[in-house]
Amino acid sequence: FNDPASNLGLEDIIRKALMGNLEERQE
């Protein structure tokens, strides 16, 4: 419970939304 953003699924939404361009960067 020390990290509400992770517990509430926010991190997952953020990672998925970021993923597209993060993959571009890794290429």
Partner 1 sequence: SRMYLVCPMNTSPQVDPHKSGQDVWEEFSHSFTPAVREVVEFAKKIPGFRELSQHDQVSLLKAGTFEVLVVRFASLFHVKERSVTFLGGQKYSVDALRTMGSGDLLSSMFDFCEKLMNLGLSEEEMSLFMAVVLVSADRSGIENVNSVEALQETLIRALRSLITRNHPNESAIFTKLLLKLPDLRSLNNMHSEQLLAFKVH
CB closer to partner 1, 9 vs 27: 9
| Residue 27 contacts partner 1 per CB under 8 A | no
Instruction: Give the DSSP per-residue string, 1-27.
Output: ---HHHHTTHHHHHHHHHHHHHHHHH-
- 15 close to 9: Cβ distance less than 8 angstroms: no
| Residue 9 contacts partner 1 per CB under 8 A | yes
Rounded least distance, CB 19 to partner 1, Å: 9
- Can you give the binding site for partner 1, defined by CB under 8 A? 1, 3-11, 13-15, 17-18, 21-22, 25
